[in-house]
Amino acid sequence: MALFVVERDLSNTSPEQLRLEQRSVGSACIRLKAQGRRVRFISSAVVPADGNALDLFGADNAELVKEVHSAAGVQYSRIREILDVTPTFLPRGTSRPRRSLARAGVRALPVDIEKGTRPTMTANSAPELTQWLTDGQRLFGVCLDALEQFERTQARNQTLEAENEMLREEVARLRQRADVLQGDRSAMIAAFNDLAGHVTQVIDHILQKSEDGENSK
């Protein structure tokens, strides 16, 4: 049994009409199965942004899927055969087993169309999907704003770190200059003290000679 995806345009289909059409397709599958034809309505998904539906079928060929929709009176855009490439390494509960789609007599279906007990959409589904998309876009915008703010903050931090590094280098240069000036100051003080001592000696010598001259008279 091969897998087929049926694309449908829902731009002019209400949620209630979609539910009725799904039941019609499910009933058509039951009638064909009663005739010994192998065809199953496996699941249905909606793309709200595009207004499309993607229905998954298992059948011996595409003609059976076309016959189902013809018997149900449901329009479709196109039918394409697909391959099930679900990874076999996924743990149980993460993905549906591959063999559940390939074999007939599947019991665990995501939507029980044949029994008509779990329709894919209700009359309130469209507003809920619209609200979900709106909230998702809003949260996505918030995440983008937060990311941009983080990037701006990170850039500002990098700038501040660079400025701090420059300031540290400038402080180091000023300290080195201060050490040099301190050394020069100490040398100047020592030279001044030497000069003062020498001047004092000269003055003392002159005074001594002056006193000696006066005494000799």
Question: Is 73 in a helix, a strand, or coil?
Answer: coil
pTM over 0.75: no
Distance of alpha carbon 182 from alpha carbon 176, whole angstroms: 10
The SS3 of residue 13 is coil
For 13-24, how does the pLDDT look when each residue is reduced to its tens digit (9 = 90+)? 888 899 999 999
User: For residue 43, how many C-alpha atoms fall within 13 Å in the half-sphere facing its CB?
Assistant: 11
DSSP category for residue 4? E
In this predicted structure, the answer to whether residue 142 has a pLDDT above a threshold of 80 is no
Sequence-ordered strand ranges (E) for the chain? 2-9, 39-47, 52-59, 78-82
Q: Between 164 and 145, name the one with better pLDDT.
A: 164
How far apart, in whole angstroms, are the C-alpha atoms of residue 130 and residue 48?
A: 8
pLDDT tens per residue across span 105-133: 333 333 333 333 344 444 455 566 666 66
Q: What is the pLDDT of residue 79?
A: 95
Q: How far is CA 114 from the centre of its chain?
A: 40
Residue 31 has pLDDT above 90, yes or no: yes
Indicate the Cα dihedral angle 31, 35, 37, 40, nearest 10°: 30
pLDDT tens, 159-216?
888 888 888 888 888 888 888 888 888 888 888 888 888 888 888 878 777 776 666 6
* Rounded CA separation 19/1 (Å): 26
* Model pLDDT for residues 93-110, shown as the tens digit of each residue: 665 554 554 443 333 333
Q: Which domains does the chain have, with CATH numbers?
A: 2-123 (3.30.70.3090)
Tokens read off for 130: 């619209």
Q: What does the pLDDT average to over 16-34? A: 92
